[in-house]
Amino acid sequence: MAKKKTPVGASLLADRAHTGADEAENFGDRIARYSQAHSRTLEMLEHLRGVPGVEATKTAASLATCGNYLHFREYFTVGKVRLHNATFCKQHLVCPLCAIRRGAKALGAYLARWQVIQEEHPELRPYLVTLTVKNGDDLEERQRHLTTSL
C-alpha cells in the first residue's frame, strides 16, 4: 500500500506567500491603519470603563495598554520594516487593533493555500458559502441533519 504524503503545513505555505505587508514603502500606510485601529480601541476602552461588572473591568484593563508600544526594525538591505516587539491584548472580539492583526495572520495562511490551489487548478474560483439550519432541541440531531444534507 502506498504511503500517504503529509500535506504542506500552513506555516510553510505562509513563508512562501509574498504579500508585501512588510515592505518599507508600505510602512506609512501600515502605521496609519494601526493608528486608526488604536483610536477605535481607545473608544472601546472608554465605553468599557462605563460598563459595570468584573469582566468589563478585566477587559478594560488589558485594552488600556494594547498598542501603546510598537517597536519596528528596519532591514534596509532588503527594504523591509518588521514589527519586532509590541504590547497587544489579544482580544480580537473587542479590540480593533488585535482584530486587524488576527485577520492578517489568517489571511496570510489562507492566501498561501489559495495560491497553491490556484497554480494547480487555475479554473477554480473561490466562493463563500454559509450553511444554516433551523434550531432544534437536540444538537446532535441537527448536526447529523446538516452533514447528511451535503
> Do 38 and 63 meet the contact criterion of CB atoms below 8 Å apart?
no
- Burial of 32 per CB tally in 10 Å (0-12, 13-18, 19+): exposed
3-12 burial code (b ≥16 CB/10 A, e <16)? eeeeeeeeee
Whether the per-residue pLDDT at 17 is higher than 70: the answer is no
pLDDT digits (tens, 9 = 90+) for 65-91: 999 999 999 998 998 999 999 999 999
DSSP 25: G
Query: Of the ranges 80-84, 95-99, 108-112, which one carries the lowest mean pLDDT score?
Result: 108-112
- Cα 102 from Cα 11, distance rounded (Å): 15
Give the torsion through C-alpha atoms of 30, 31, 32, 38, to 10 deg: 110
Percentage of the chain surpassing pLDDT 70? Answer: 87
- Rounded CA-CA distance 19/132 in Å is 33
Domain ranges of the chain: 17-149
Judge whether residue 8 has pLDDT over 90.
Answer: no
Predicted local distance difference test score (pLDDT) of residue 19: 55
Residue with the larger pLDDT of the pair 85 and 134: 85
For residue 95, pLDDT beyond 60: yes
Residue 130: pLDDT band with limits 50, 70, 90: confident
User: What pLDDT is attached to residue 43?
Assistant: 94
Give the pLDDT confidence score for residue 24 in this predicted structure: 84
Mean pLDDT, the chain, whole residue set: 85
Mean pLDDT over 29-38 rounds to 92
What band does 3 get if pLDDT is binned at 50, 70 and 90? low
